[in-house]
Amino acid sequence: MPSLAARMSRAKPSAIMAVAEKAKRLKAEGRDIISFSIGVPNFLPGEHVYQAVRDALAKDSGQYGSNRGPDALLDAFIAHLEGSGLSGYGRKNIATGIGAKHVLYNLAEALLDPGDVIVFPTPYWTTYVDIADIVGAQTRLLPCPATQNYKLTPAQLDAALPGAKVFLFNNPSNPTGMVYSKDEIAALADVLARHPDVWIVCDDIYNRMVFDGIGYHNFVNARPELRDRTILVDSLSKTYGMPGWRVGFVAGPETVAQAVVTLNSNHITNVPEIVNAAAIAALSGPQDVPTAKNAEFAAKRDTVMAALEAIPGVVCPRPQGAFYVFPDISCAFGKSYQGRLIANDVDFCNVLLETKGVACVPGSAFGEPRALRISYTCPTPQLAPGMQRIQEFFAELR
């Protein structure tokens, strides 16, 4: 039998989806399961989005669309960028894709040759390592533990960039929910300005989910001279409650946007016409749903943090964005629950799910094995009971 391509030995299924599937299986067996596992916003966009889809269906052309995306969608995204303080982009600087994950994969294909080095902080979103492995890039990971609030320091970045091709930066962060302040972004931008041969990829899909008035800030705002090598990635999935619609965006130098367009022409051809209509309506229409949900997530964050702060030994920097908390739960290692040893984060999450019915993702999936990720997007009535089960689990460790 012929063999698969060698790259498939480096491809791994999503650790996050593995936890979600196990939780789903237990629920199907009749277990009372509260899932804090998958990062799905769990709300739907406004009615105007669905009306735009109905209108698009009524006049569907059935034809191929643009590899880049229709002008109306490009213009809507440019206006979205301007609302975040990022002006000066034209249609030639934009391309679309089937979600941010597809855009990131296209960027890896466009920017990285086998053996090239990509740098990013740990904890990281799981797919970063997986994509780098598939394209044959080398990852240079920068540990940012809870003791430094899960944030990258300028000194770390400066030491890591020599010889690198790409710096990948996620703000607000998945899995930690941490948000970099204006001054922190400026300090990192000063370092990046000293390394002119490095592409800067900003995964900013949570940029409208920021709490406490801290605001969203970008390297381009801090150092305009970085624009010609800074690439912005965004998506409708989180802000607009549209993960299943699969719409992602890239904004950057014309050469990079065109590279993504070229890859689209060979990968997907185009985002479907009715999906484009939904995306245009989401970006251009009323923003009351995402605004209200952002306030709701901030309140949920407070509920989760209050519960974690009441658990002796647990350390958790306070997140200010996205919808995750990432507590260091290593105080539980070496203890037992009903005779079952908790040796590491995977043991912790497995025993928690099987005994208390709470699904969380082990921190090792994100490069930080002392922690776990809690996604607090579940229905509000489930949140406090789920956190109470976690408190009880800790209290019953021996």
Q: How confident is the model at residue 21 (pLDDT cuts 50, 70, 90)?
A: confident
H/E stretch holding 274? helix 273-284
Question: Is the distance from CB of 233 to CB of 225 less than 8 angstroms?
Answer: no
- Average pLDDT across the chain, whole number: 95
pLDDT in tens, 98-138: 999 999 999 999 999 999 999 999 999 999 999 999 999 99
- Decide which of 3.40.50.10440, 3.40.50.2020, 3.40.640.10, 3.30.70.890 is the CATH code for 47-284: 3.40.640.10
How far apart, in whole angstroms, are the C-alpha atoms of residue 282 and residue 240? 7
Burial (Cβ within 10 Å: 0-12, 13-18, ≥19) of residue 29: exposed
- What pLDDT was estimated at residue 23? 80
Residue range 232-273, pLDDT digits in tens? 999 999 999 999 999 999 999 999 999 999 999 999 999 999
pLDDT at position 3, please? 87
> Which pLDDT score, from 0 to 100, does residue 344 have?
95
DSSP strands (E only) in 99-223: 117-122, 138-143, 166-170, 199-203
Q: In terms of pLDDT, which residue wins out, 328 or 7?
A: 328
Q: What does the alpha-carbon distance between residue 188 and residue 121 come to, in Å, rounded to a whole number?
A: 12
303: its two tokens: 């509920």
Q: Residue 24's pLDDT is what?
A: 83
87 burial class (0-12, 13-18, 19+ CB within 10 angstroms)?
exposed
Query: What is the number of other CB atoms lying within 10 angstroms of the CB of residue 379?
Result: 8
Residue 240: name the closest of 31, 21, 45, 105 by CA: 45
Tell me what pLDDT residue 142 has: 98
Q: What is the mean pLDDT of residues 222-230?
A: 97
332 and 394 in contact (C-beta within 8 Å)? yes
Q: Mean per-residue pLDDT for 323-347?
A: 97
* Tokens found for residue 1: 């039998």
State which CATH number among 3.40.50.300, 3.40.50.450, 3.90.1150.10, 1.20.1730.10 fits the domain covering 6-44+289-395.
Answer: 3.90.1150.10
Q: Sketch the domain layout of the chain as residue ranges.
A: 6-44+289-395, 47-284
Whether 6-44+289-395 shares its CATH topology with 47-284 is answered no
